[in-house]
């Protein structure tokens, strides 16, 4: 059974510092891995999707890496801002599951202090 873990569960950094968020998964037979952002009481916003054949994906200040062999992904957010405060979730799609079923980690709650 695929398990997705995100450590730490919460993180607090001063504004301007780079953020490093970790995600690990137990089954390396994945289609892809997605990173999402969730603001309190709201839905999820897709940040980046990395296909299993890719090593990294970048969008603005965000960079996500994927190491399938070790079952890890890292989301880097450069020069953090108070507006980056949110919960960040990673999720994988398994090849054997087919379709678009996502298995989520528990999330990392981030607070960026001005």
Binding site for another protein (CB under 8 A): 31-32, 34, 36, 41-46, 49, 51, 89, 91, 93, 95, 97-107
Nearer to another protein, 79 or 95 (CB): 95
Beta bridge partners of 34: 49, 91
Question: How many angstroms from the chain centroid is the CA of residue 20?
Answer: 10
Nearer to another protein, 96 or 114 (CB): 96
Nearest distance from residue 22's CB to another protein, in Å?
16
Nearest distance from residue 110's CB to another protein, in Å?
16
Nearer to another protein, 80 or 110 (CB): 110
**Cβ partners under 8 Å of residue 99, min gap 6:** none
Nearest distance from residue 84's CB to another protein, in Å?
19
Distance CA 49, CA 76 (A): 14
Structure tokens at 12: 């607090």
Distance CA 92, CA 56 (A): 15
Nearer to another protein, 69 or 100 (CB): 100
């Amino acid at each position: 059974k695929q398990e997705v873990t995100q450590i730490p569960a919460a993180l607090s950094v001063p504004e301007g510092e780079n953020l490093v968020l970790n995600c690990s998964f137990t089954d390396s037979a994945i289609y892809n891995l997605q990173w999402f952002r969730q603001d309190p009481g709201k839905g999820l916003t897709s940040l980046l999707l990395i296909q299993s054949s890719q090593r990294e994906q970048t969008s603005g200040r965000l960079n996500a890496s994927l190491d399938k062999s070790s079952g890890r992904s890292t989301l880097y957010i450069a020069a953090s801002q108070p507006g980056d405060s949110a919960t960040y979730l990673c999720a994988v799609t398994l090849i054997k599951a087919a379709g678009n079923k996502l298995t989520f980690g528990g999330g990392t709650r981030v607070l960026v202090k001005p």
